[in-house]
Amino acid sequence: MKTRLIAPSLLSADFGNLQRDIDMLNHSQADWLHVDVMDGRFVPNISFGFPVMKTVKEHSTKFIDVHLMIVEPEKYVEEFIDLGADLVSVHYEASVHLHRTINLIQQKGAKAGVVLNPSSPVLLLEDIIAEVDLVLLMSVNPGFGGQKFIENTYKKIAETKDLILSNNSTALIEVDGGVNLDNASKLFAAGADVLVAGNAVFSSDNPEKIIELLKF
Ligand SMILES: O=C(CO)[C@@H](O)[C@H](O)COP(=O)(O)O
């Protein structure tokens, strides 16, 4: 997979005009479509589930990147893949048997990612890094769009890069939360491969232009 990718987050889209927003992304230079699933238990917010995922897949031409912010993600990963997820990421903090869940995702034919909350150290990934296709570093506390970027993320990107290299892992690094035009190029330079952007894209009058600018 090529790097320096932009994944607009559907969470910030206009749900009354979902097809319009997905069409806009189809025409844009966005690489992935980031789908945030929240259960009101792992995070203090509820977003959407299978019916929206189905609609997204029917209309989107992009690589579908599903971020599960739910407890017991292993119960639901297969259905998200059946509905068209290309990549499914589960939280380290929500996965009792993370290795099994990562294997399950890959055996179903999708890429598998592991997510770390801002307070979870990168070292927790030492014994799983060789298995995963992606590490998603949360740069805000998960649950809501439009929050302020946590600066400690730069240190975590460097640590993740080191961990990847020392384990001959091919995992990509994705950063999610508070990404905007002020920090995107610095995040890529620090070693991020994929940037998720919600508010920065969808609060703009010209979202396609913002997506283009975020890449450079
Ligand atoms: O997973 C999450 C929030 O939990 C993110 O994907 C946000 O939706 C990103 O939104 P912005 O911080 O870019 O507005």
Q: With bands split at pLDDT 50, 70 and 90, how would you rate the model's confidence at 1?
A: very low
Q: What is the mean pLDDT of residues 166-170?
A: 98
Structural domains counted in the chain = 1
Q: State which residues form the domain around 192.
A: 5-214
Across the chain, mean pLDDT equals 97
Output the CA 147–ligand 1 centroid distance in Å: 8
Summarised one tens digit per residue, pLDDT across range 62-76 is 999 999 999 999 999
pLDDT for the residue 216: 85
- Which residue numbers are catalytic? 36, 176
145 lines ligand 1 (CB under 6 A): yes
The CATH number of the domain holding residue 26 is 3.20.20.70
Please give the model's pTM, rounded to 2 decimal places. 0.98
ipTM surpassing 0.95, yes or no? yes
Angstrom CA distances, 155 to 42, 137, 160, stand at 25, 11, 9
Summarised one tens digit per residue, pLDDT across range 108-137 is 999 999 999 999 999 999 999 999 999 999
160 lines ligand 1 (CB under 6 A): no
